[in-house]
Amino acid sequence: MIFHGGFYYYCESRNKRQIFLRRSRTIADIGSDPGVCVWTAPTRGGNCDNLWAPELHLIDGCWYIYYAADDGKNENHRMWVIRAEGSSPLGKYECGGQLETGGWAIDGTILTLEDNRRYFVWSGWPGQKDGLQNIYIAPMKDPMTISGPRVLIAAPTQKWERVGLPICEGPQVLRRNGDIFIVYSASASWTPDYCLGLLHNNTGDVLNPAKWIKHGPVFQKTDQVWGVGHCSFVKSMCQSEDWIVYHAKSSPEHGWEDRDVHAKQFAWSSDGFPDFGEPLPRRAPLTPPGRTRSVPLAA
C-alpha cells in the first residue's frame, strides 16, 4: 500500500494472472473498492502464470509495478516489472521485462538511499531447489535493470524463521534518521507462526552483509491473531503517522483460507527502532490516520 495525491493505493494479484489496484481516501475503506485491472499476463511465456505479490512504486515521476511470475512451474518464478504508460497509476502499463536476479525470485521491492542510489531486494533460493529462501540485494542501474550480482543479507538461521520451512521472504524497507531497516517475513506463510523479522543497517554500506544486523521476531502471533506477515508501510495523509499493513490469520490452523489484510499504526522506540506492538484481531476498531473516531477495518 502507498499514499499519493490524497489516495491510498493497494496492489494485489487475482486469478493468478491479473494485477489489480484498489484506491480509497481512507485505509479502512480500501477493501470496499472493487479495484481496477491494470495488467493481465500474456497467454504464454515466463510470466504467464502464478503472479504473486505485486508492488506499486513511484520512481522519478513514473509508476512501476514489480511482481513475481512463472510459466506454470514454481521453479521458474522470477521477478518482472511493468511501467505505466501515463501519469496515472490506474492506467495502462507496458512490460519492462524480467529482472536478472540470478535465479528463483519472489517478493521484490526497492531500496533507495538518500543519495538516490537504488537497490533491488527480494527473496530467492540459494540454488535450483525449493526448501530454503534467503533475502538478497543487488544494485540497480535504473528502475528496470539490476546492474550487479546478488548479495545474501539474511538466511533463515533462527528457530522462529524455520517453522514449516526455512524461509525469509517479503522484504520491505523503512528509513529514518539515517537508519535503514528491512522488515521481512519468516517461516512458512501457511503456518500460525509466520512472523516478522528485521534487518538494521546504520552505515549505508548496504552491499556488505556484515553491516546488516538481524533482530526478531519483531511482530508475531497472539492468542487471537496468527500468521502475521508480509507487510508494507504507509504514511498517513498528514505524513505524521506511520502505519503497517499486513496479512494475518483468524485461526491457528494451517492454510491461507482465513487470511485477511490488517492495518495498524505503529510507533518508534527511544533507540530509533520501529515498535509494531501486537497485531490487532480481525475487525478490531481502529483510529484512521488523522481521525479521532474508531471504525472497523475492511478486510
CATH of the domain at 264: 2.115.10.20
Q: What is the pTM of this model?
A: 0.94
Q: What is the mean pLDDT of each run of 10 residues along the chain (299 residues)?
A: 96 97 93 96 98 98 98 98 97 97 98 96 95 98 98 99 98 97 98 99 97 98 96 91 95 93 95 96 70 40
Give me the pLDDT at residue 246, please.
Answer: 96
The pLDDT, as a whole number, for residue 238 is 84
Residue 265: per-residue pLDDT: 94
SS3 string of the chain? CEEECCEEEEEEEECCCEEEEEEECCCCCHHHCCCEEEEECCCCCCCCEEEEEEEEEEECCEEEEEEEEECCCHHHCEEEEEEECCCCCCCCEEEEEECCCCCCEEEEEEEECCCCCEEEEEEECCCCCCCCEEEEEEEEEECCEECCCCEEEECCCCHHHCCCCCEEEEEEEEEECCEEEEEEEECCCCCCCCEEEEEEECCCCCCCHHHCEEEEEEECCCCCCEEEEEEEEEECCCCCCEEEEEEEECCCCCCCCCEEEEEEEEEECCCCCEECCCCCCCCCEECCCCCCCCEECCC
User: What are the cell numbers at 262?
Assistant: 490488517
What number of CA atoms fall less than 13 Å from residue 161's CA on the CB side? Answer: 24
Task: Give the per-residue pLDDT at 292.
Answer: 37
Residue-number span of the structural domain to which 247 is assigned: 2-296
Count how many domains the chain has: 1
